[in-house]
A and B are shown apart, each in its own frame.
Chain A
């Protein structure tokens, strides 16, 4: 059966053509890095809470052993990438924009790379029910490897809940799974390589997801600057022979791989602000995630390694490597021939050159979110001095969210956050396309990030003030209540004394009489007592 290669029928708004710089790292096959000298596993590698460590210092662990358990509703398990001894559970620099340290489990490998006992390899998932498969995915710590690192199990569970709640909320049933193989960021090629070398595995993974979700359709989308990936997937699809899986080629236009942009390119539909593809009946997964799902379900393998693109003009031999999570970045770079010219190095970036984060040290470990290590030289990334905005509007032409970045910049700079919000600052996806085309070299995204954080802070302050005000008002009410009660008591007392004063003698007589009566009754009782 021939597999048709479809063109994406729509086009997302805006976008830029950037020099992809992917050829540097795609010459060789994915190479496995050796077991590193030490392994550093941050407890928080996913969105949500940090995992809780289950091992103690000095403990001997095996490859694939659960080291830290998911904690709370949005969290993921962490497993040992190789066998060895736990030497520390302490703070260590992690790859994060804040450059702060975080709790990590440190493991010294013993070099044996000995697996924990695995119940099965080559499991036939077709006989398993959905709950069991989702449980396997949860157990193996699978998170979205496209960048958001959201626990996959929750995404799949939500899509199941969606089936139940869809009718109530008037939302469509989940009907289509979208596989994101766009990889539009410059320099990154790990998904490209994965699709070339593991196309069969990916189709198996898609089969699993289609079974769990019950979707009738799968759109596998790849940018057309990856002809090899398209070819391999097409070939694998010919053998796999599943009519539900459709292969789409996308124009290579950044940020094509953004969730919202990809949905727009494939379907022409837009996700509402704060919405999910699920609202329209779509579930999107990155190719890396699909591979991880497949390995977990079929080979019972937890997420302990991933493909990382090590590239940039500061690296001697740019390439894609399969690295154990927790491998220090410095060892990855060493494996790729090391730095080219230390004097010229400028930046160490995790991710691509448009949305990546710059790391302050190469001692940080590989984490689940690390798709690319990019070392760039001064020549390539030297920031230029920002000039005044000339209102050319190029930023608005390329904005995939349809915003007016220049107006947002204006308001952000003036700290007029109210207007910035009115111009939909919250809808900025921080893709950096506006920065790239700005002839005045204004760091627009930086301004937007700052404004967003200011707005968050301000909202938080407003919330706190609101709370304080409520507390104050409650207290006032309470005090007032106490005061009125007191006043009432006083008034009652006063009334009694007044009554006493006004009734004068008659009142006194009354009291005297009462006293007399009591006395007499007392004597009666006493007398009767005596009689007994």
Chain B
């Protein structure tokens, strides 16, 4: 009998890109539920718009390059990009802002470089930064979280949809009445007005650690991230490096001047730091690859987040920090290589006994 020949190994690989992306999506579900609970239906509408735009853009980009739609669409990486963008945008973002962010992410940040695996910059963050710079006004339409009474009723699904699509709320509510600053925003402006930390913290938007509502969303994001680590979709190096370096920076400055610098817990729990640590910075394509490189990359992001939040022009700095470190990845990869077996000094680990 004759058989076809092939090169080893002959074993079926255990993992697929699609599976990895599905784990990422699954890991975000608890956070999504918490998000809806605290901020209403806006995120769901954003998610829908972003996902549809992303799939269409991906399909278009593949068409233009004469590539088949599958398996590139089926790997779900574009859906992850869309969902991360939706998580970053305020719940009442106008539809065209979402569309522009996603289209830029997929078409320019991803496909111009050659598609999945070839892009240098994190597509979600690139897309987000574009709209952050282009539509500063629109990106401040955050709702106050549930439980924070700013003198208005919660916004219904219909009201949200109507606002996202048409840009106006049904009477009598007006935009100014429903929106609120994000905690990091508030912190920045109030510090600018020479208020001390203890004064600022009395604002109802602040919770026990970070900000009201945000704390819980961040907790659920962290749970999702730990799930990803457990499933070995991501490794511990980047999340730990990002959060630890951010905490160390914040802790140091807070110790030095507690009146003007927020505590480490606040920095970790009130912005997108946890989302960044587990879901954004860990994007394998644009992160460093060796374990040591990943730690350096993570530390870079953590330090940059702190620096930009405190002395830069934007209240939250995650997107800029990630993009800046993306630029350093080739250099990090060049200098941080694992030691090859038999080369240089041996540092074999003792087995756990």
Contacts and interface: CB of A to CB of B under 8 A. Distances in A.
Interface stretch (A50-58, A201-209, A340-348, A500-508): A340-348
Nearest to A13: B341
B3 interface: yes
Contacts of B8: 349, 351, 353-358, 430, 432, 445
A158 interface: no
Interface in B296-353: 333, 337-343, 346, 348-353
Contacts of A391: 117, 284-285, 287, 289
A403 B337 CA distance: 8
Find the residue from B5, B15, B343, B349 having the highest chain A CB count within 10 A.
B5
A381 to B, nearest CB: 5
B16 interface: yes
B4 interface: yes
A435 B9 CA distance: 7
A383 B6 contact: yes
A48 interface: no
B291 to A, nearest CB: 8
Contact of B10 (A7, A269, A349): A349
Interface in A429-449: 430, 432, 435-441, 443, 445-446, 449
A449 B7 CA distance: 9
Given A404-B337, A424-B340, A348 B16 contact: no
B351 A387 contact: no
Interface stretch (A22-30, A104-112, A285-293, A393-401): A393-401
Contact of A358 (B6, B16, B341, B348): B6
B13 A269 contact: no
Contact of B285 (A269, A355, A387, A390): A390
Contacts of B20: 390, 392, 439
B5 A353 contact: no
Contacts of B343: 273, 424, 427
B129 to A, nearest CB: 21
A421 to B, nearest CB: 12
B338 A358 contact: no
A11 B349 CA distance: 6
B9 A347 contact: no
Interface string B29-67: 000000000000000000000000000000000000000
Interface stretch (A70-78, A119-127, A359-367, A461-469): A359-367
A264 B115 contact: no
Majority SS at the chain A contact face:
loop
A251 interface: yes
B7 A446 contact: yes
Contacts of B341: 13, 260, 264, 270, 400-402, 427
B16 A441 contact: yes
Interface string A318-360: 0000000000001000000001001001111101011111111
B116 interface: yes
Given A10-B351, A432-B11, A439 B116 contact: no
Given A10-B349, A355-B9, A390-B284, A437 B14 contact: yes
A260 B340 CA distance: 12
A11 B284 contact: no
Find the residue from A99, A271, A348 having the highest chain B CB count within 10 A.
A348
A214 interface: no
Contact of A441 (B2, B13, B348): B13
Contacts of B248: none
A183 B258 CA distance: 61
Contacts, number: 196
A404 B346 contact: no
A424 B342 CA distance: 11
B23 to A, nearest CB: 11
Contacts of B2: 360-361
A29 to B, nearest CB: 28
A430 to B, nearest CB: 8
B109 to A, nearest CB: 15
A382 B349 contact: no
A281 interface: no
B15 A402 contact: no
B135 interface: no
B1 interface: yes
A88 to B, nearest CB: 22
Nearest to A275: B342
B122 to A, nearest CB: 12
A381 B235 contact: no
B290 A396 contact: yes
A349 B77 CA distance: 35
B71 interface: yes
Contacts of A427: 340-343
A435 B14 CA distance: 10
B340 A361 contact: no
Contacts of A357: 8
Contacts of A265: 351
Contacts of B117: 387-391, 440
A394 B232 CA distance: 9
Contacts of A211: none
B173 interface: no
Contact of B11 (A275, A389, A436): A436
Contacts of A9: 350-351, 353
A384 interface: yes
Find the residue from B14, B116, B287 having the highest chain A CB count within 10 A.
B14
A315 to B, nearest CB: 13
A385 interface: yes
A358 B5 contact: yes
B228 to A, nearest CB: 12
Nearest to A384: B13
A347 B10 CA distance: 9
A495 to B, nearest CB: 66
A439 B339 contact: no
A18 interface: yes
B19 interface: yes
A98 B7 CA distance: 11
A8 interface: yes
Contacts of A251: 351
B96 interface: no
Contacts of A406: 289
Contact of B235 (A342, A382, A397): A397
A265 to B, nearest CB: 8
Given A402-B338, A402-B339, A435 B289 contact: no
Contacts of A18: 11
A353 B71 CA distance: 26
Contact of A356 (B10, B12, B287): B10
A93 to B, nearest CB: 10
B230 interface: no
Interface in B154-176: none
A407 B75 contact: no
B281 to A, nearest CB: 13
A438 B14 CA distance: 8
A268 B348 contact: yes
Q: Which 9 A-B pairs rank lowest in CB-CB distance, beginning with the nearest?
A: A432-B9, A388-B117, A392-B284, A439-B15, A11-B351, A393-B289, A268-B348, A348-B3, A358-B5
12 contacts: A11-B350, A18-B11, A97-B5, A264-B341, A273-B343, A351-B8, A353-B8, A358-B10, A380-B10, A387-B116, A402-B339, A439-B17
Interface of A: 7-13, 18, 97, 99, 186, 251, 260, 264-265, 268-273, 275, 330, 339, 342, 345-349, 351, 353-362, 374, 376, 380-385, 387-394, 396-397, 400-404, 406-407, 423-424, 427, 430, 432, 435-441, 443, 445-446, 449
Given A269-B348, A270-B341, A387-B75, 5 more contacts: A385-B71, A388-B117, A390-B285, A391-B287, A439-B20
